[in-house]
Amino acid sequence: MLAVLLIAGGVGVMSQSNAADSQSSSPNSPAPDTMQARVAACAACHGAQGQGTDNDYFPRLAGKPADYLFNQLQNFREGRRRYPPMNYLVTYLSDDYLHQIATYFSQMRPPYPTPAAATLPDSQMARGRDIVLKGDTSKNVPACIACHGNGLTGMQPAIPGLVGLHRDYISAQLGAWRSGTRHALAPDCMHAIATRLDDADIGAVAAWLSTQPAPQNPVPAPAGSMKTPLACGSEPQ
């Protein structure tokens, strides 16, 4: 990638007959700072358009609300989420830079992966579906769709879609909230919800969600279109 950019830059210099013009793109100047060059480092794990990869722990980024993605990049930078390669990559990046990266991936619309096949017995898949669509009043767990939307595409400006994510990624995130290794801005509604779920609930929810196809128009619901049943610090009301 870098080599391609350097070569492209060199061609530019050669085609410029005016010596004064060539000053800004002399062969010694760094590669152009394009968005494509910035996100090249992300492609190996998240795909060129943020569509995700076959690795069960590497999440899709494409189409998630920009403020959600920005919050996560800040969370990694400030240690509220831990995954060493991510923490390392964003350590020295400014808010402005993170905003631009977040906006870039929020606007990508690559196709969604084929939904996973059911991996648990019917009764457990049904349990997962019930929690997502209706919640569990006996455990004080609201329906996931109350905030993540009927189409599971999230809500602007900062609630992510849950379609297109792998089962293992979803269960790992819920487990991280429960054990306190993932935090969101306070009040952390996902921490409250995850601690009310037991291992079997998390397994059921993650398995069912991963079987769901994306809706026809997989864009996040407009800001304020749902009243969230709990306050979430990352989603201003």
In the complex, the smallest distance separating the C-beta of residue 172 from ligand HEC, rounded to whole angstroms, is 6
Question: Binding residue for ligand HEC (CB under 6 A) from 47, 52, 63, 142?
Answer: 142
Task: Answer yes or no: is 148 a known binding residue.
Answer: yes
- For residue 120, give both structure tokens: 């648990």
Helix (H) or strand (E) holding 43: helix 35-46
Q: How does DSSP assign 106-173, residue by residue?
A: HT--PPPPPPPPP-S-HHHHHHHHHHHHH-BGGGTBPPTHHHH-TTS--BTTTB---TT--HHHHHHH
Determine the interface stretch with ligand HEC among 23-31, 59-67, 106-114, 211-219 (rule: CB under 6 A). 59-67
Residues in the interface with ligand HEC (CB under 6 A) total 48
Judged by beta carbon, residue 113 or residue 235, the one nearer ligand HEC is 235
Footprint of ligand HEC on 69-128 (CB under 6 A): 69, 71-73, 81, 83, 85-86, 89, 101
Torsion sign over Cα 163, 167, 172, 178: positive
Cα–Cα distance measured from residue 147 to residue 167, given in angstroms and rounded to the nearest whole number:
19
Helices (H) and strands (E) in the chain, counts: 11, 0
Interacting positions 21-50 with ligand HEC (CB under 6 A): 41-42, 44-46
132 within 8 A of 209, measured Cβ to Cβ: yes
Which residues bind to ligand HEC, rule: CB under 6 A? 41-42, 44-46, 57-59, 61, 64, 68-69, 71-73, 81, 83, 85-86, 89, 101, 131, 141-142, 144, 146-148, 158-160, 162, 165, 170, 172-174, 184, 189-190, 193, 205, 228-230, 232, 234-235
Annotated binding site for heme c: 42, 45-46, 86, 144, 147-148, 190
